[in-house]
């Protein structure tokens, strides 16, 4: 079946859905949950073929996120869908005001390869919870996971409700010519611009989850052991192929040598070795070559070894880095960790303000003034104080970028809102209305209008 025909079928099917039929949505979310649970081994096998991710990491960073999303919406769908009563101003009395959440219609979700289940299925789940029909275009770079999702979904859901469209750049380009009611994209800023431009041709609203160079700041008021342990875990999770991983470190110069030694200790302790079950390979040769070309051999403090045949790059720390180095010109998205130093906290923040707003930022400090300055002066998508990445695990927090790191947000209720139209309704009584807003006008009526408004 042609994808244009599938989209048309979804448009027709969406017209038959009762926007307030919560049970229909729950039934399909429960069905998806059971399919994921019953096919965990199949899903784990597929992602291992793509880039060697262990069952442990697949569950903790992929499947558990998806299952928790489903559980959240099953528990909260009734309250999220309920019309929200708001205050009615004086000029609209006697009346009542409510906001109704209605489905947008047909949604296109374009997933990413680095967390192919989480970053494809989490937005799909939010869109279905909000009452929409969906077409999912997973990333073709993680080919096996794309085929796994296609098999599970397309064999168990009607195409007019939920469909996985396989393919590469040509198929994605084709999808972007169609008139969806919303496009949700996760990926690079470069491709995000292409998606945004294509959506603008049809005035399609978009959510763009992009990336950027996310800093981790280690002040001279930080707990160094905790900072090093959490940074090493967050940076080298998925071999650094994480959009919210610490991209580079800013370390107070008085701690530089000491902190490097602690970082090395935890890299050694965690044993990120070739063929380790808790350390993945680089997704493909193109990304592998890009990464090794960023390694300046004269600036290697630790690591730097790699294997072309297995696409393995060991955790690598680079020092004596400056802002003009090639590795500081783009998001790294791999197991390379450049370390810069600073001697004045406020001057360092001022430098960050000159850069593009990152998707995430992290501060390690126990100083209240530094925390306050970090939160109030520095704009970024989201982040942590004294940790990294873990803010993604709280469904009560929105996830999304700002500026060049993205547009829009999701997770929890924010995902429901992203895929809904918030329709405002004022209902008035049909008796007791004064005539002051109707012609003929007079100075007396104007004086009353000024008091009311």
**Residue 19: predicted pLDDT:** 59
Instruction: Assign domain 3-210+405-425 to a CATH class.
Output: alpha beta
Non-local CB neighbours of 409 within 8 Å, separated by 6+ positions? 207, 398, 399, 400, 418
CA proximity to 187, closest of 166, 201, 206: 206
Non-local CB neighbours of 10 within 8 Å, separated by 6+ positions? 106, 133, 134, 135, 159, 160, 161, 163
Provide the sign of the torsion angle of the four alpha carbons 8, 11, 15, 21, taken in this order: positive
Helices (H), 52-140: 55-58, 64-81, 118-129
Non-local CB neighbours of 404 within 8 Å, separated by 6+ positions? 189, 210, 212, 356, 357
Cβ atoms of 138 and 145 within 8 Å: the answer is yes
**Residue 390: predicted pLDDT:** 96
Residues of the chain within CATH 3.40.605.10 domain(s) are 3-210+405-425
Catalytic residue, candidates 44, 133, 134, 243: 243
Residues of the chain within CATH 3.40.309.10 domain(s) are 215-393
Separation of alpha carbons 170 and 2, rounded Å: 14
CA proximity to 411, closest of 432, 391, 384: 391
Q: Which two tokens stand for residue 452?
A: 């009311």
Q: Which two tokens stand for residue 323?
A: 């802002």
Separation of alpha carbons 165 and 149, rounded Å: 10
- Edge-first strand order for the sheet with 84-86 is 84-86, 95-103, 420-428
**Residue 89: predicted pLDDT:** 84
Non-local CB neighbours of 320 within 8 Å, separated by 6+ positions? 299
Respond yes or no: is residue 354 known to be catalytic: no
**Residue 312: predicted pLDDT:** 96
Catalytic residue, candidates 62, 143, 160, 209: 209
**Residue 1: predicted pLDDT:** 62
Respond yes or no: is residue 243 known to be catalytic: yes
Whether this prediction's pTM lies above 0.85 is answered by yes
**Residue 374: predicted pLDDT:** 97
**Residue 21: predicted pLDDT:** 85
Chunked mean pLDDT (size 10), the chain, 453 residues: 91 81 94 98 96 94 96 96 89 87 96 97 97 97 97 97 96 96 95 96 96 96 97 97 97 97 96 90 96 97 96 97 95 97 96 96 97 96 97 94 94 95 89 82 84 78
Beta bridge partners of 383: 361
**Residue 91: predicted pLDDT:** 75
The architecture that CATH gives domain 215-393 is 3-Layer(aba) Sandwich (3.40)
Phi, psi of 178 (to 5 degrees): -90, 155
């Amino acid at each position: 079946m042609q994808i244009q025909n599938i989209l048309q079928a979804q448009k027709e099917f969406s017209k038959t859905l009762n926007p307030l039929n919560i049970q229909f949505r729950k039934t399909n979310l429960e069905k998806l949950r059971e399919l994921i649970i019953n096919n965990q081994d199949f899903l784990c096998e597929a992602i291992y073929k793509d880039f060697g991710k262990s069952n442990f990491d697949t569950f903790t960073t992929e499947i558990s996120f998806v299952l928790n999303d489903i559980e959240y919406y099953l528990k909260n769908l009734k309250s999220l869908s309920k019309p929200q009563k708001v205050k009615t101003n004086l000029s609209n009395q006697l009346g009542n005001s409510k906001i109704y959440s209605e489905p947008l219609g047909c949604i296109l979700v374009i997933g990413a390869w680095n967390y192919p289940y989480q970053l494809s299925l989490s937005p799909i789940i939010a869109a279905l919870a909000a009452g929409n029909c969906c077409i999912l275009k997973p990333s073709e770079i993680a080919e096996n996971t794309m085929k796994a999702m296609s098999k599970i979904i397309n064999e168990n859901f009607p195409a007019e409700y939920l469909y996985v469209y396989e393919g590469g750049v040509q198929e994605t380009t084709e999808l972007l010519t169609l008139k969806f009611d919303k496009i949700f994209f996760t990926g690079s800023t470069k491709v995000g611009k292409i998606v945004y431009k294509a959506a603008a041709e049809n005035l399609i609203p978009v959510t763009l989850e992009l990336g950027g160079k996310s800093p981790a700041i280690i002040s001279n008021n930080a707990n160094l052991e905790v900072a090093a342990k959490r940074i090493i875990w967050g940076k080298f999770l998925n071999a650094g192929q994480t959009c919210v991983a610490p991209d580079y470190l800013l370390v107070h110069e008085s701690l530089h040598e000491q902190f490097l030694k602690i970082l090395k200790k935890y890299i050694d302790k965690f044993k990120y070795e070739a063929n380790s079950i808790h350390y993945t390979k680089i997704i493909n040769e193109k990304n592998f070559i890009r990464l090794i070309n960023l390694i300046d051999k004269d600036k290697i403090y630790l690591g730097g070894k790699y294997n072309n045949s297995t696409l393995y790059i060991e955790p690598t720390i680079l020092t004596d880095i400056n802002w003009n180095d090639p590795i500081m010109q783009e998001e790294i998205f791999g197991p390379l960790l450049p370390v810069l130093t600073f001697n004045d906290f406020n001057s360092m923040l001022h430098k960050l303000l000159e850069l593009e707003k990152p998707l995430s930022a992290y501060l390690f400090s126990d100083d209240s003034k530094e925390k306050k300055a970090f939160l109030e002066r520095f704009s970024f998508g989201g982040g942590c104080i004294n940790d990294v990445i873990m803010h993604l695990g709280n469904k009560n927090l929105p996830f999304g970028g700002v500026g060049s790191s993205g547009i829009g947000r999701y997770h929890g209720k924010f995902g429901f809102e992203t895929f809904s139209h918030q329709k405002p309704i004022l209902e008035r009584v049909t008796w007791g209305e004064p005539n002051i807003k109707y012609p003929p006008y007079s100075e007396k009526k104007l004086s009353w209008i000024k008091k009311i408004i």
